[in-house]
Amino acid sequence: MNEQELRRVLVRVVPRLPSPEDRVSAVIARAGRRQRNIVTVGAAVIVGIVVLGGVPLVRALAGRPLNVPPAMSNIPSASPTPRADGVLETPGCVGYHPDMATEYQGTPVAPNQMELSDLAERVQPPAMSRFPDVFSYVELRHENDRLRVWRKPSAEFDAWIVREFGNECLEIADAKASEKEIDEWSRQVDFRYWRNKGIDIYSVHGDAIEGVLVIGVAAEDLARARKEIPKKYPDIPIKVEKGVPVVLT
């Protein structure tokens, strides 16, 4: 067998070695197949978790109900759902079944207290900045493991809550005063002025639900304070009650 015949035999038996360009293409193709395989396996694991364990398993793994970021959510309505007691609920409350509250020294503690606190920090700052004349405050309700937002009735505010936090379970309830109003009322009460008048004021705080400024005074000054203090501030709804002195330790 001469050299030319030997070459023809080798070409038929031994595959042609790839050129450098072919080797690069082969590596890229293998990397693409590997990435697709990883994505496929990851998707299969997620589907397996949902199918085999169901929602309870997913909640157990996450520590709380799964929430889709608001930007990716598909909220059917811009209005919350009213309950029989007048409180409104966001769409995220549908199917929300919290664990029973535990107790610490006789005080109920929400099982998702940390998650609710984080949610409150997300809700309160933008609510105050965007709706200062409407927003009152956020309340963590331990007994039913929920967050309640108090505000003066406002369809615009309610629509914003649903749009931004609709996948969370939030309650929305009526208040008669905003945090801004209560702060403005409180700033007008001068403790020193009333002390010089012979009335000791122990505390000043707002009741947003009732829409009044609550002023606590010494028991011996109560009758006189109920006459004179509201007269001094005719534009402020005031409730004067017996207060408790602050003891500094």
- For residues 143 and 184, state if they share a domain: no
Residue 164 is part of which domain span? 70-174
Is it the case that residue 40 has pLDDT exceeding 90?
Answer: no
Per-residue pLDDT band for 1 (boundaries 50, 70, 90) equals low
- For residues 92 and 164, state if they share a domain: yes
- For residues 231 and 203, state if they share a domain: yes
- For residues 139 and 85, state if they share a domain: yes
- For residues 190 and 138, state if they share a domain: no
> Distance (Å, rounded) from C-alpha 123 to C-alpha 76?
21
- For residues 97 and 129, state if they share a domain: yes
pTM as predicted: 0.64
Q: Which of 146, 174, 202 is the last residue of a domain?
A: 174
Q: Regarding beta strands 88-89 and 170-174, do their DSSP bridges make them parallel or antiparallel, or are they unpaired? A: antiparallel
In a domain, 2, yes or no: no
The number of folded domains in the chain is 3
Q: Which of 9, 35, 59 is the last residue of a domain?
A: 59
pLDDT digits (tens, 9 = 90+) for 123-136: 999 999 999 999 99
In a domain, 111, yes or no: yes
Q: Which of 174, 201, 217 is the last residue of a domain?
A: 174
- For residues 74 and 167, state if they share a domain: yes
**81: which residues sit within 8 A by CB, 6+ positions away?**
88, 89, 90, 91, 93, 94
pLDDT digits (tens, 9 = 90+) for 158-188: 999 999 999 999 999 999 999 999 999 999 9
